[in-house]
Structure 1
Amino acid sequence: MDMKLMQLVICIVFLVFATGVQADERTRRHERLSKVSHWFYLLDFDGNSPVMGRIAKSAYDMVVVEPIFTERENAGFNVSGMVRRLKGKIGQRLVLAYIDIGEAEAWRTYWKPGWRIGNPGWIVADDPDGWDGNYPVAYWNEGWRRIWLGKGGYIEALVRAGFDGIYLDWVEAYSDENVIHAARRDKVEPRREMIRWVRDLAAKAREADPAFLVIAQNAAELADDPEYVRII
């Protein structure tokens, strides 16, 4: 067989195989979620509280919790132990980490002294609903992306801690007027950048865990985009 033809055949076989693997992974993720009939959502809690034991013994199929170790005051928290406990004795309960991907939060470990609106430049405004310490961001900026996707970043830490997935807040950031203004300044399209952002978060996590779940809390209109649907 001609060498170039052989290379072409190998490429086609690889693409078919890769497409099949991706489809199988999506099916597996959907199957995991299809078994969830009751779920629980808990933020702003003490990871050592007795409530953890009650959740562990509950009938919930899935729980969404604050990962805790990303809080500056709880950076040393044993999150892996919490996740194992929440999964239960047979480990069938799904445990997802709540993360805000469209706003910076002043109590997180990444927040540095002196940060404010405009410093760094990707912090664009105060929270439009008045939540103190929350700031919409230009989520396409490499500084913000590095916090999550960089080596030793939050996504690696969440996967390593044993979370089954991430539960995304502020996906609708692309519709915030201050974010739109920043996008015009940077000559990017904010809706398209949000889809890229969710895609890259998912891809980073799925490098280590192909079945890793990605659930968006809001921005339901993005479900009209086929690429976005494939991601989640």
Structure 2
Amino acid sequence: MKKILFLFLAFAVLSCNSDDENSSNSEDRNFHQDMRDFVIGISQKAKGVKPNFAVIPQNGIELVTENGEEGGAISHAYLNAIDGNGQEDLLFGYDNDDQATSTEDSNYLKGLLNVSKNNGKKILVTDYCSTPSKMVTSYQQNFAGGYISYAAPDRNLTVIPSGNPYNVNADVIANLSQAKNFLYLVNPVNFASKSAFINAVTATNYDAIIMDLFLNDEAFTASEINQLRNKANGGKRIVICYMSIGEVEDYRYYWENSWNASKPSWIVAENPDWTGNFKVKYWNADWQDIIFRGSDSYLDKILTADFDGVYLDIIDGFEYFE
């Protein structure tokens, strides 16, 4: 789910981005490398439990090279840790939904996405467009570029489009590299129960689904995730779990009531475009314990539910601190 990056004008916010436990001064940090290290740590733990577990960072594609530029030296440690890259708004939605992304912005993103693709990684594009002809254009052009894509008619990612997915097939999809299409359905607000969600998804033929761990604050079980692997045409899909690591969300199980009155120093400013989402000093040890280091971390819950991978959001959180 896209959390639009924003610039905060108050100098006081930026001037306090130090972390007593982790850094004497945020200005000394390499924010790109901090995020790479975060993703690498998540990958190492997950693949240590489930070797074929897919790790897919969304946005922040600049991390694939050391200097964040298309011609820069490849960040091999980072690329070795991931299985693909997600990218929003490549062809539609960068400035406004259902509006074509400028050629300049699109080409910039493609240049970096192709660094990842040429190193064997799967590229998953989410374009936000609802006009049927634009959705067709999105699918066709992304396919021509060597990407799999999802034309999302709703930025809140609440709906399953009617009809079969682009490049529909009855294959048994065992890993990300085999997927020819995907469904991005992380907001289950339209489903009253997990069974209703499962029934709706298993009536489709998508090769992969990106979904949330929870519905109505109740986590999906390994048995339920296994049901979701069934495609309507008899094939199998992979099931990927969404997890935001660059923002804290106040509706998650880990949110402490005391934070409503006084937040930890590593929780920064609220995202004005997404109520209840707060920028986080993602290099902070306490936050990383919540996400993957702790004995009952968010990642542990995802692994226990037997997802096939994780879709990491707000990877571009480094832009806020820079």
The answer to whether TM tops 0.5 is yes
Distance 1:91 1:102, change over 3 A: farther
Query: What's 1:38 paired with?
Result: 181
| Aligned pairs (5 A) from 1:96-111 | 96-111=240-255
Q: Is the 1:68–1:79 contact (alpha carbons within 8 Å) kept by the matching residues of 2?
A: no
Structure 2 unaligned blocks of 5 or more: 1-47, 53-79, 84-120, 122-173
> Secondary structure of 1:81's partner?
helix
Counterpart pick for 2:256 among 101, 112, 126? 112
TM-score (norm 2): 0.42
2:282 counterpart of 1:139? yes
Structure number with the higher strand fraction is: 2
Q: Deviations over 1:42-99 (max 9, x none)?
A: 0221452534213113211100001106xxx524x44323311111287831100011
Deviation (angstroms), 1:34 = 2.6
Distance in structure 2 (CA, Å) of the matches to 1:38 and 1:165: 15
Structure 1's consecutive aligned runs of 4 or more residues displaced over 3 angstroms after TM superposition are 89-92
Q: CA RMSD in A?
A: 2.8
Structure number with the higher helix fraction is: 1
Distance in structure 1 (CA, Å) of the matches to 2:304 and 2:269: 32
Q: Is the 1:117–1:123 contact (alpha carbons within 8 Å) kept by the matching residues of 2?
A: no
Deviation (angstroms), 1:117 = 8.8
Distance in structure 1 (CA, Å) of the matches to 2:309 and 2:220: 18
Query: What's 2:304 paired with?
Result: 160
| Aligned pairs (5 A) from 1:8-23 | none
Query: What's 1:54 paired with?
Result: 200
Letter in 2 for 1:67: L
TM-score (norm 1): 0.57
Distance in structure 2 (CA, Å) of the matches to 1:91 and 1:143: 41
Q: Is the 1:106–1:134 contact (alpha carbons within 8 Å) kept by the matching residues of 2?
A: yes
Percent pairwise identity:
30
Q: Identify which range, 38-47 or 107-116, moves more after superposition.
A: 38-47
Query: What's 1:213 paired with?
Result: none
Deviation (angstroms), 1:105 = 0.3
Counterpart pick for 1:170 among 305, 314, 320? 314
> Secondary structure of 2:183's partner?
strand
Q: Identify which range, 112-121 or 156-165, moves more after superposition.
A: 112-121
2:223 counterpart of 1:81? yes
Distance 1:138 1:57, change over 3 A: same
Q: Is the 2:194–2:220 contact (alpha carbons within 8 Å) kept by the matching residues of 1?
A: no
| Total equivalences in the alignment | 149
> Secondary structure of 1:115's partner?
helix
Distance in structure 1 (CA, Å) of the matches to 2:298 and 2:258: 22
Deviation (angstroms), 1:116 = 4.7
Distance in structure 1 (CA, Å) of the matches to 2:260 and 2:308: 33
Letter in 2 for 1:144: W
> Secondary structure of 1:63's partner?
strand
